[in-house]
């Protein structure tokens, strides 16, 4: 075993009790009939000999949503292959299964990625037997990558990105990252800055291409649009803003901003969509404590004229909820998370607002800034002021929405460039 990977594996074994505790909390949100060893140690059914298989790994729900155009394109271009989509989190699993169900395609299946212990990684790859392994964004698991190389599985990193913060962390592990990246046959980087960071970690320039962000190729399905239209019709003419993918510590600030907004717009409605389902009940309690009890979508409750908050506590409906709003605030940006996908509301033509924490989406944010298609607020007071100003100015809302939609349309094309690169590793028949 390479020395850096050996030290890494030793550290994993030392941390195993903590890792298993985290895994058990995730397991509570998954299928309790399946054992943790089955879910996380690679004990998956064997792919039958002669059955071609593709493997795409996405960390969680956001990555699954961003990868959807790629997933659909792979199923179309490789009709003889099955596609195994792996995730790390239970929320990602739920989104992956919902995607498979919506397609009605038995070739798309979900599995949990194994913990990156050497034996589990080897077992998973040998049982899955993929013809091509794809890792989305920054999912670089050294033992899984090594298992692919040892078993002759070509590996690609797609939509490859490294935020400055992630790069600083990985740079401290440069020998380990260099070994991991040596197992990658092709890396499709989102930008030249991302490519440079990967290069500094040891990725060979000859095996790397800047293709742009797959997130600009976002797919909006007809069902989401229908749900949006239905919601908007039922909500009527009242001002509606959506706060999506919010985190702990962020909802309280958003409720303060909403209270200030309602001083100017008493009938304003906040559609609040927490990022993680295990927090739905806590956020509902937080709304009640703030004097704004929420109608809960999961309970089929409907906001009345007096309701201030509508809690989007369901899975897989964020795009539909964004589409029902006049304005959209993208969460993870008032707290030091790094932001979430600003392009989801933009693709729907909904004006986009954000907080200052955008480390994970800085390049996307800059593209929107250049088109004057992004409203940034430093805190809840600034957010409340921006919301009030925009609700008072329909022409500016319309301009912002059109500008954001145009940015998404102008930057599409990464998907086709990614597929061309993958075809060099696994030509479609």
Of the candidates 234, 306, 317, the one whose C-alpha atom is nearest the C-alpha of residue 272 is: 317
CATH number at residue 368: 3.40.50.2000
Respond yes or no: is residue 63 known to be catalytic.
Answer: yes
The per-residue pLDDT for range 208-230, each reduced to its tens digit, is 999 999 989 987 888 889 999 99
Q: Which of 26, 63, 72, 179 is catalytic?
A: 63
Quick one: 403 and 417 in the same domain? no
Quick one: 227 and 333 in the same domain? yes
Residues with Cβ within 8 Å of residue 147, at least 6 apart in sequence: 118, 121, 122, 124, 125, 126
CA distance 272 to 285: 13
Q: What is the DSSP string of 127-147?
A: HH--SEEEEETT---HHHHHH
Residue 406 lies in a domain: yes
Quick one: 231 and 200 in the same domain? no
Quick one: 229 and 353 in the same domain? yes
Quick one: 335 and 196 in the same domain? no
Identify whether the C-beta of residue 353 lies closer than 8 Å to the C-beta of residue 387: yes
Quick one: 179 and 239 in the same domain? no
H or E element at residue 9: helix 3-14
Identify whether the C-beta of residue 59 lies closer than 8 Å to the C-beta of residue 92: yes
Per-residue pLDDT of the chain (429 residues; tens, 9 = 90+): 588 898 999 999 898 888 888 777 666 555 555 566 666 889 999 999 989 999 999 988 888 988 999 999 999 999 999 999 999 888 888 888 888 887 777 899 999 999 999 999 999 999 999 999 999 998 899 999 999 999 999 999 999 999 888 899 999 999 999 999 999 999 999 999 999 999 999 999 999 999 999 989 987 888 889 999 999 999 999 999 999 999 999 999 999 999 999 999 999 999 999 998 889 999 999 999 999 999 999 999 999 999 999 999 998 899 999 999 999 999 999 999 999 999 999 999 999 999 999 988 888 999 999 999 999 999 999 999 999 999 999 999 999 999 999 999 999 999 999 999 999 999 887
Quick one: 404 and 390 in the same domain? yes
Quick one: 137 and 204 in the same domain? yes
What's residue 37's pLDDT? 64
Phi, psi of 399 (to 5 degrees): -65, -45
Helix (H, G, I), strand (E, B) or coil at 212: coil
Quick one: 197 and 328 in the same domain? no
CA distance 271 to 273: 7
Q: How many domains does the chain have?
A: 2
Range of the domain at 281: 222-410
Quick one: 204 and 343 in the same domain? no
Residue 217 lies in a domain: no
Residue 227 lies in a domain: yes
In 10 A of CB 84, how many CB atoms?
21
Quick one: 164 and 101 in the same domain? yes
Residues with Cβ within 8 Å of residue 192, at least 6 apart in sequence: 210
CA distance 127 to 130: 9
CATH number at residue 18: 3.40.50.11720
Quick one: 197 and 84 in the same domain? yes
């Amino acid at each position: 075993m390479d020395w850096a990977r050996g030290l890494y594996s030793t550290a994993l074994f030392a941390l195993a009790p903590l890792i298993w505790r985290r895994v058990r909390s995730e397991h509570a949100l998954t299928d309790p009939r399946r054992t943790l060893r089955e879910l996380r140690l690679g004990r998956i059914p064997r792919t039958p000999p002669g059955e071609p298989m593709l493997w795409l790994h996405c960390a969680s729900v956001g990555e699954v949503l961003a990868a959807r155009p790629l997933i659909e394109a792979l199923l179309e271009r490789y009709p003889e292959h099955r596609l195994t989509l792996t995730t790390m989190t239970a929320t990602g699993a739920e989104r992956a299964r919902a995607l498979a169900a919506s397609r009605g395609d038995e070739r798309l299946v979900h599995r949990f990625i194994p913990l990156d212990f050497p034996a589990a990684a080897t077992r998973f790859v040998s049982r899955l037997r993929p013809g091509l392994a794809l890792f989305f964004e920054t999912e670089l698991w050294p033992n899984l990558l090594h298992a692919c190389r040892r078993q002759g599985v070509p590996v690609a990193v797609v939509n490859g990105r490294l935020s400055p913060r992630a790069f600083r962390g990985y740079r401290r592990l440069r020998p380990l990252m260099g070994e991991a990246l040596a197992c990658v046959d092709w890396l499709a980087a989102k930008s030249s800055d991302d490519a440079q960071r990967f290069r500094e970690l040891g990725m060979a320039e000859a095996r790397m291409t800047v293709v742009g962000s797959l997130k600009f190729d976002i797919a909006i399905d007809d069902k989401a649009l229908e749900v949006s239209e239905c919601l908007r019709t039922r909500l009527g003419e009242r001002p509606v803003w959506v706060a999506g993918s919010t985190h702990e510590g962020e909802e309280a600030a958003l409720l303060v901003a909403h209270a200030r907004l309602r001083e100017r717009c008493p009938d304003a409605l906040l559609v609040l969509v927490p990022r993680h389902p295990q927090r739905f009940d806590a956020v509902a309690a937080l709304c009640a404590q703030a004097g704004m009890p929420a109608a809960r979508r999961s309970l089929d409750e409907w906001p009345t004229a007096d309701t201030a908050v509508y809690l989007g506590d369901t899975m897989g409906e964020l795009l539909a909820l964004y589409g029902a709003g006049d304005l959209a605030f993208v969460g993870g940006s008032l707290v030091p998370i790094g932001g979430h996908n600003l392009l989801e509301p933009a693709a729907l033509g909904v004006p986009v607002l954000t907080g200052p924490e955008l480390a994970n989406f800085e390049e996307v944010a800059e593209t929107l800034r250049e088109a004057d298609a992004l409203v940034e607020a430093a805190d809840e007071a600034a957010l409340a002021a921006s919301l009030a100003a925009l609700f008072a100015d329909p022409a500016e809302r319309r301009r912002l929405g059109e500008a954001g939609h145009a940015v998404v349309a102008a930057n599409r094309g990464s998907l086709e460039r990614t597929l061309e690169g993958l075809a060099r590793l696994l030509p479609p028949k």
